[in-house]
Structure 1
Amino acid sequence: MCQDNSLQTLILHDNNLTGSIEETFKGCTNLTELNLLGNHLHGEIPGYLAELPLVSLELSLNNFTGMLPDRLWESSTLLQISLSNNQITGQIPDSIGRLSSLQRLQIDNNYLEGPIPQSVGYLQNLTILSLHGNGLSGNIPIELFNCRNLATLDLSSNNLTGHVPRAISNLTLLNSLILSYNQLSGAIPAEICVGFENEVHPDSEFVQHNGLLDLSYNRLTGQIPAAIKKCSMLMVLNLQGNLLNGTIPSELGELTNLTSINLSSNGLVGPMLPWSAPLVQLQGLILSNNHLNGTIPVEIGQVLPKISMLDLSGNVLTGSLPQSLLCNKYLNRLDVSNNNLSGKILFFCPMDGESSSSLLFFNSSSNHFSGTLDEPISNFTQLSSLDIHNNSLTGSLPSALSDLSFLNYLDLSSNDFYGVIPCGICNIFGLTFANFSGNHIDMYSSLDCAAGGVCSTNGTGRRVAHPSHRV
């Protein structure tokens, strides 16, 4: 392959190659780029690769085993190393610090263990460091924050402990920080936003601007710092699954580039929307499983004009469900279950010449909603899941339910509905689950209807729960 020594770039990704590369490329003395991604290569990564003039080494998505070779870090030319998704074991060697020219290092999803070596601080040209999905332990070394060119740092899905160091303020170019699924504790440092204050693109072909801050599933405590307002370029904020308390800071309303906020499964209290200025880019807001109280603001449609996913479940919210929220043309997933909401669910939306609702998933179960389920529900033609069980809804079931042709999940159980189940429901082709139990449904008439339609167990085999009288 390299007999004439002229080969400089070799790209063989996704070719079902097998075997080892123990001696394969020894003679490629002018090779600067080697890409073997996505094959079935095995064996150890040979140290002789450091003797080649390689600039880029891509060995991800193979079956390489063994430890990281010490010799690899003696290269004087390598700028990019990607070894992700292999079966590499052992520790990251201290000798990693020798490769001072390195700009990008990815060793995700292997079996590395032990601490991140302090010598990583010598990699001062590093722009991307990604070590997620290993078994790394210990604290995040303070020396890491000497790598002042870092734009992406991903240490997620390891066993790291200790605090998020305040020295993170050294990383002024940082625009993607992912520390999720570790055992980090302590408060979120106020300095966390230094790298998200300005949109900066370091001079490296490997850097991508993400605007991502993910500290989810750790043991972080305290309040979300008001200094979060300095993260002006932040697009995605995920603090899910920690032990945070206090209120949602109103300063979040100043982050106009946000597209997604996830603060679920913490101990947050107070209002769910403590700002009034519109976040016009925000598409996802997940605040479930906290202790948020108060009402859902009537003006929520103006504050979140392009929201597509809103999850407020598992809180102690009171008051009614704003009609403008249900009728938001961008909203396709709404979950307000397990709260103390009351009043009538208003499915009526003003028609504007086109479908007035894009809602696909609606869950308002386990609240105190009352009133009837009216015919305008047929305007919600895109609904695939409707769950309003365990409320105090009453009246007969509207025939308009039969017009929800995309419905596959329907739970109306544990309410005060009476009458019969509209026969047309049994003809909804994709319906796989329906529950009418715990109501005052005329069981016998409804069963006669079901027996003649596609709900029949000897028809399509779809499982539809039988109606039953409330005891």
Structure 2
Amino acid sequence: DQSDAFFTVWEVLLSTLQEDPTFVDTTILASPTSTAHQTLNWMANSNHPDLTSMIAEDAQANVTRLLEYYAVVSIYYSLDGAKWNDKMGFLSDADVCDWHSSSGGVTCDNGHVVEVALGDRYMRGTLDPALYHLSHLEKWSMDMKYNYFRWFRGSIFSHIGMLSMLSELTLVHLRLRGAFPSELYQLTQLTHLDLASNGFAGRLPSEIARLT
């Protein structure tokens, strides 16, 4: 049986998660090895000071912050964080804004996650689409040269428009294939784009001029 806190966290997040296109079937919660289950279980039972306080005070009022924790913790579990060379403070008792090291991690501004940088060796797995719940994200960088990595279901770019504040995007050595992703045109704040060492084919479309 799960703790009351587990279901408190899930019920608060559920109403938000169900309204976006990356939502996955709730039946995955029945699997202890699923990223969603592991993430929610950690959030509910880790006794993390910040999470404990938010859940006890008013989980609904703190839904944005809870979603940020959910997204970042999902990165850890979906990419086999227990085996990272440098865990960058992930899952520590520190605030999520302090989950970083010289290898990368999370950076915040005004209490919200604005940057995620991942490049540690031995990341492996399938990145969870919960990343798209970082609604304040401005910078996202991943260098997967020395990792065993797959994207989540479908294209990485399918829902990237949800990151409406994204201004810098660096995705290198990810073995991406196909035509240049038109979904990037939705990122109206984008000023820096690096997709080096991938395998895109064809000509760059004229619409790329939409990017600032």
* TM-score, normalised via structure 1 length: 0.23
- Considering fraction of residues, name the structure with more strand: 1
* TM-score, normalised via structure 2 length: 0.47
- Considering fraction of residues, name the structure with more helix: 2
